[in-house]
């Protein structure tokens, strides 16, 4: 490699050139074509999308039709605003903090600050899971409009990760009503045995656009901490929402 060559920039430009010259591609196709891992591919695509060079349609990415096109100002601001808040949250609560956004029927992690504990939640940028599994997925679902929620529940795959996972739409909907009223959600070993998570919604123009979450081992992030942790999360998410 030339001493002045920036590897990450080069990869991003190669992806952009391929999308401009050819057909739309899925994330996995781009991974295989350029021999990249999932996390790196997601970061590159996410950055290209935020800066307006590419756009996402369903599960595929394509070059933007308009040179000056930019994705929503809310998502662009969110990407930068949450970084100091996540660091502060992770330090204050001593657990992994992250941001998730709705991506089809799943929720995708877009920002992560890991805990310093040896035993901790290992969440990576680009990770995704069905929305009904996690706390930050449920808290987003709970704050969708009735029409949006109905559509989601109609198509949502009721995958059961553990015996705690909701696999009944009626029970899940009742659970989401409670989450909406209290303003936060809890994943009580529903995604993974031994792991708990607490999440709060982030709003832009009164619409939920993301969720802020903290997760860790059930032994440390136990039920006795739920009230205190949820209060801190709600305050932090409200601050981010007001800054947006």
Residue 125 pLDDT:
78
Report the pLDDT averaged over residues 50-73: 67
**How confident is the model over 199-228, as pLDDT tens digits?**
999 998 888 989 999 988 988 989 999 999
pTM, whole model, 2 decimals? 0.66
Please name which of 165, 167, 218, 221 lies closest in space to residue 191, comparing C-alpha atoms.
Answer: 165
Taking 50 as the threshold, does the pLDDT of residue 161 lie above it?
yes
Encoding tokens for residue 147? 């029409």
Residue 77 pLDDT:
58
Average pLDDT score over the chain = 82
Structure-model confidence comparison of residues 141 and 152, the more confident one: 141
In CATH, the architecture of 73-243 is: 2-Layer Sandwich (3.30)
Residue 165 pLDDT:
81
Burial track 219-232 (b if 16+ CB lie within 10 A, e otherwise): eebeeebeeebbeb
DSSP 55-88: EEETTEEEE-SSTT----HHHHHHHHHHHHHHHH
Residue 75 pLDDT:
60
- The model's confidence at residue 59, banded by pLDDT at 50, 70 and 90, is confident
Residue 79 pLDDT:
62
What is the percent of the chain where pLDDT is above 90? 27
Structure-model confidence comparison of residues 190 and 25, the more confident one: 25
Structure-model confidence comparison of residues 185 and 103, the more confident one: 185
Taking 80 as the threshold, does the pLDDT of residue 80 lie above it?
no
CA angle 193, 197, 198 (to 5 degrees): 155
Taking 80 as the threshold, does the pLDDT of residue 66 lie above it?
no
Taking 80 as the threshold, does the pLDDT of residue 16 lie above it?
yes
Three-state DSSP state, 205: coil
Residue 88, judged by CB atoms within 10 A of its CB (0-12, 13-18, 19+), counts as middle
Report the pLDDT averaged over residues 129-139: 88
Q: What does CATH list as the number for 7-63?
A: 1.10.10.10
* Spans of all domains in the chain: 7-63, 73-243
- The model's confidence at residue 51, banded by pLDDT at 50, 70 and 90, is low
Taking 90 as the threshold, does the pLDDT of residue 231 lie above it?
yes
Give the separation between CA 129 and CA 144, rounded to whole angstroms. Answer: 18
Cα dist from 233 to 72, 92, 104, 213, 215, whole Å: 24, 11, 25, 7, 12
Q: What is the largest CA-CA distance in the chain?
A: 60
């Amino acid at each position: 490699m030339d001493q002045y060559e920036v590897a990450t920039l080069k990869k991003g430009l190669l992806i952009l050139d391929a999308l401009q010259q050819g057909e739309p591609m899925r994330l996995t196709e781009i991974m295989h074509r350029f021999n990249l891992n999932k996390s790196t591919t997601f970061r590159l695509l996410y950055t290209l999308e935020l800066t307006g060079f590419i756009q996402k349609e369903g599960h595929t990415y394509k070059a933007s039709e308009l040179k000056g096109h930019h994705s929503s100002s809310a998502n662009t601001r969110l990407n930068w605003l949450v970084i100091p808040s996540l660091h502060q949250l992770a330090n204050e609560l001593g657990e992994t903090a992250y941001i998730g956004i709705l991506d089809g029927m799943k929720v995708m992690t877009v920002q992560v600050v890991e805990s310093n504990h040896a035993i901790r939640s290992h969440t990576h940028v680009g990770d995704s899971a069905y929305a009904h599994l996690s706390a930050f997925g449920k808290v987003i679902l709970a704050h969708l409009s009735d029409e949006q929620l109905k559509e989601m529940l109609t198509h949502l795959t009721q995958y059961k990760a553990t015996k705690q996972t909701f696999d009944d739409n009626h029970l899940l909907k009742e659970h989401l009503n409670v989450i909406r009223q209290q303003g936060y959600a809890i994943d009580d070993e529903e995604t993974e045995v031994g792991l708990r998570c607490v999440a709060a919604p982030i709003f832009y123009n009164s619409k939920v656009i993301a969720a802020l979450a903290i997760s860790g081992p059930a032994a440390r992030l136990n039920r006795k901490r739920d009230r205190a942790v949820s209060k801190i999360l709600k305050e932090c998410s409200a601050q981010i929402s007001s800054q947006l």
